Amino acid sequence: MYLIPLSTPQKFGAIIFGLLAGACTAVGISAMGSVVGFVIALAGIRGWLNLGESGAWLPLVGLEYGLLVGIVVGAVVSWKIWRSRLRGATTE
């Protein structure tokens, strides 16, 4: 398969796009962890779960652990975008 080599601005754009996609993935997963923590804390407030004194901290705990998972998943997303854009292969 014949591929035209990428120019420097195209390579730069692919790298920036990969970084932005990875960062947005990390932020999105972290926000979802916070939402899940908030829902569980709300269930504890309503009396559906017995969470003890830790129920109030669950949104922050979800945010922290969600960020750790988000960084790993964001790195994988960035790597897949860079691999497909800089080599000319598909992400499938």
Per-residue pLDDT of 10-46, as tens digits, reads 888 889 999 999 999 999 999 999 999 999 989 888 8
pLDDT of residue 84: 87
Share of the chain above pLDDT 90, in %: 45
- The Cα–Cα gap between 64 and 58 comes to 10
Global pTM reads 0.77
Which pLDDT score is estimated for 2?
A: 53
Within 10 Å of residue 34's Cβ, how many Cβ atoms?
20
